[in-house]
Amino acid sequence: MWARKRRKNKEIRVFAASLKDIEKALTVKKYTDPKDKLPAHYHQFLPVFSREEADKLPPLRGAGVDHKIELEKDENGNTREPPHGPLYNMSRDELLVLRKTLLELLDKQFIRVSNSPAAAPVLLVKKPGGGLRFCCDYRGLNAITKKDRYPLPLINETLERIGKACWFTKLDVIAAFHKIRISPGDEWMTAFRTRFGLYEWLVTPFGLANAPSTFQRYINWILRDFLDEFASAYLDDILIFSSGSLAEHRSHVNKVLERLQRAGLQLDIDKCEFEVKSTKYLGFIIEAGKGVRMDPAKVKAILEWAVPTTVKGVRSFLGFANFYRRFIRNYADIAAPLNQLTQKGHEFKWTESCEKAFQQLKTMFTTAPILIQFSPERETVVEADSSMWATGGTLSQYDDNGLLRPCAYFSKKNSPAECNYEIHDKELLAIINALREWEAELCSIEGFRILTDHKNLKYFTTLRRLNERQMRWAALLSRYNFTLDYRPGELAGRPDALSRREQDLPQDDSDERLQNREHWSSAEQQDVKYGAIRAAVYEGAVRFPKELGLKTGISDCSISPEGYLLYRDRRWVPDIESLRTRIMQETHDSVITGHPGRNTMYAILARQFYWPNIAADVRRFVENCDKCNANKIWRDRRHGVLKPLPIPDRKWREIAIDFIEKLPESNGCQNLMVIVDRLGKGVILIPCEQIDTPTVTTKLIQHFIGYHGIPSAITSDRGAQFVSDMWENFCKQLGIRRRLSTAYHPETDGQTERMNATIEAYLRSFCDRTQTNWASLSPIAQLAVNGRNATATGISPFFLDHGYDMETIQLDNTQDTNLVPTETQRTKAQQGHDIVTKLAHALDIAKAELAAAQQKYEAYTNRHRTSAPAYRVGDKVWLDLRNIRTERPSKKLDIRNAKYTIIEKVGSHAYRLNTPPGIHNVFHVMLLRPANSNPFPSQQNDDYQPPPQLVDGEEEYLVQEILDERFARVGRGFRHEFLVKYTGYQQPEWNHADAMEDTEALDRWRKDHPQPPQKPKKKKPKRNRKGKPNIRALRPNIRPARKCVTWADGVPHRS
Beta bridge partners of 503: none
Q: Assign 676 a pLDDT band (cuts: 50, 70, 90).
A: very high
Predicted confidence band at 913 (pLDDT cuts at 50, 70, 90)?
confident
- For residue 770, what are the contacts with CB-CB under 8 A and spacing of at least 6? 664
The CA distance from 171 to 261, in Å, is: 13
- Where do the DSSP E strands lie in 237-358? 237-242, 273-276, 278-281, 284-287, 291-294
Give residue-wise pLDDT tens across range 511-527. 444 445 567 777 887 88
The pLDDT of residue 152 is: 73
Reply yes or no on whether the pLDDT at 173 is more than 90: yes
Low-confidence winner among 21-25, 361-365, 713-717, 1008-1012 (lowest mean pLDDT): 21-25
Task: Flag whether pLDDT at 200 surpasses 90.
Answer: yes
Range 517-623 has CATH code 3.40.50:
no
Give per-residue pLDDT as tens, 276-312.
998 888 767 788 876 666 566 655 666 777 888 888 7
Q: How confident is the model over 1030-1035, as a mean pLDDT? A: 42
Residue 739, phi then psi, degrees to nearest 5: -120, 95
What is the rounded distance in angstroms from the CA atom of residue 997 to the CA atom of residue 330? 51
User: How far apart are the C-alpha atoms of 370 and 66, rounded to whole Å?
Assistant: 44
Give 463: exposed, middle or buried? Use CB within 10 Å, 0-12, 13-18, 19+: exposed
pLDDT tens, position by position, 30-84? 778 888 889 999 999 999 999 899 999 999 998 889 999 999 988 888 889 998 8
Element (H, E) at 323: none
The whole-number average pLDDT for the span 217-233 is 91
Q: Specify the pLDDT at position 672.
A: 93
CA distance linking residue 860 with residue 642, whole number of Å: 10
Q: Could you give the percent of the chain with pLDDT greater than 90?
A: 19
pLDDT for the residue 729: 92
Mean pLDDT of 250-262: 94
For the cut 70, the answer to whether the pLDDT of residue 696 exceeds it is yes
Phi, psi dihedrals of residue 382, rounded to the nearest 5°: -110, 125
Contact partners, residue 777, CB within 8 Å, separation at least 6 = 762, 763, 766, 767
- What is the CATH architecture of 654-806? 2-Layer Sandwich (3.30)
Distance between the two ends of the chain, CA-based, in angstroms?
A: 58
Classify 470 as helix, strand or coil: helix
User: Highest-confidence range of 439-448, 612-621, 956-965, 978-987, by mean pLDDT?
Assistant: 612-621
Q: Which residue has better confidence, 4 or 950?
A: 950
Domain 949-1054 has CATH 3.40.190.10: no
- In CATH terms, are 654-806 and 949-1054 the same topology? no
pLDDT exceeds 70 at position 570: yes
Alpha-carbon gap, residue 77 to 187, rounded angstroms: 23
Cβ atoms of 923 and 903 closer than 8 Å: no
Question: Which residues, in sequence order, are bridge partners of residue 382?
Answer: 395, 450
Instruction: Report the alpha-carbon distance of residue 910 to residue 387 in Å, rounded.
Output: 59
CA 448/CA 453 separation, integer angstroms: 17
Q: What is the pLDDT of residue 868?
A: 61
How large is the average pLDDT for residues 936-944?
65
Buried/exposed code over 17-40 (b: 16+ C-beta within 10 A; e: otherwise): beeebbebbeeeeeeeebeeebee
Lowest mean pLDDT among 437-446, 779-788, 846-855, 896-905: 846-855
| 640: region left, alpha or beta (phi > 0 left; psi from -120 to 50 alpha) | left
Residue 1038 pLDDT: 38
Model confidence at 541, pLDDT cuts 50, 70, 90, reads confident
Q: Residue 1: its pLDDT value, please?
A: 30
d(CA 666, CA 910): 40
Domain limits, the chain: 19-294, 297-504, 517-623, 654-806, 876-930, 949-1054
> Does 646 have pLDDT greater than 90?
no
Mean pLDDT (whole number) for 796-816: 67
pLDDT of 229 over the 80 cut: yes
Give residue-wise pLDDT tens across range 391-433: 878 888 888 777 787 777 777 777 777 877 777 788 888 898 8
Question: Read out DSSP for 702-725?
Answer: IIIIHHH---SEEEE---GGGSSH
Q: What is the pTM of this model?
A: 0.40
| Residue of 740 and 958 predicted with greater confidence | 740
The pLDDT, as a whole number, for residue 916 is 66
Residue type present at position 975: R
Of 78-92, 466-480, 697-711, the one with minimum mean pLDDT is 466-480
Of 446-455, 778-787, 914-923, 1027-1036, where does mean pLDDT reach its minimum?
A: 1027-1036
What value does the mean pLDDT take over residues 334-345? 81
Contact 58, 181 (CB under 8 A): yes
Q: What pLDDT was estimated at residue 797?
A: 85
The top-scoring range by mean pLDDT among 211-215, 362-366, 408-412 is: 211-215
Residue 284 dihedral angles phi and psi, to the nearest 5°: -125, 155
- Residue range 19-294, CATH number: 3.10.10.10
Strands across the sheet containing 557-559: 557-559, 565-567, 570-572, 609-610
Pick from 730, 787, 733: nearest CA to 758: 787
Contacts of 445 (CB under 8 A, 6+ apart): 152, 376, 380, 481
Res 513: pLDDT = 40
Could you count the other beta carbons within 10 Å of the beta carbon of residue 722? 20
* Residue 565 to residues 5, 402, 427, Cα–Cα distance (Å): 10, 49, 22
- Residue 638: predicted pLDDT: 53
Confidence check: pLDDT of 641 > 70? no
State mean pLDDT over 1022-1034.
Answer: 48
Q: What's residue 1024's pLDDT?
A: 52
Highest-pLDDT range among 662-671, 791-800, 1039-1048? 662-671
Q: Is the pLDDT of residue 679 over 60?
A: yes
> Considering the chain, what is the average pLDDT of its residues?
76
> Band of the pLDDT at 1003, cuts 50, 70, 90?
confident
Asked if 1035 and 1024 count as a contact pair (C-beta separation under 8 A), the reply is no
What is the 3-state composition of the chain as percent helix, strand, coil, each rounded to the nearest 5? Answer: 35, 20, 40
Report the distance separating Cα 683 and Cα 657, nearest Å: 10
Nearest residue to 324 (alpha-carbon basis) of 472, 487, 160, 494: 494
Do the bridges between strand 111-113 and strand 197-201 make them parallel or antiparallel, or are there none, so unpaired? antiparallel
What span, in angstroms and rounded, lies between the C-alpha atoms of 139 and 460?
A: 11
Strand ranges, E, within 17-130: 111-113, 122-126
pLDDT at 294: 59
CA dist., res. 694 & res. 238, Å (int): 106
| Fold that domain 297-504 belongs to in CATH | Nucleotidyltransferase; domain 5 (3.30.420)
Which one has a higher pLDDT value, 642 or 796?
796
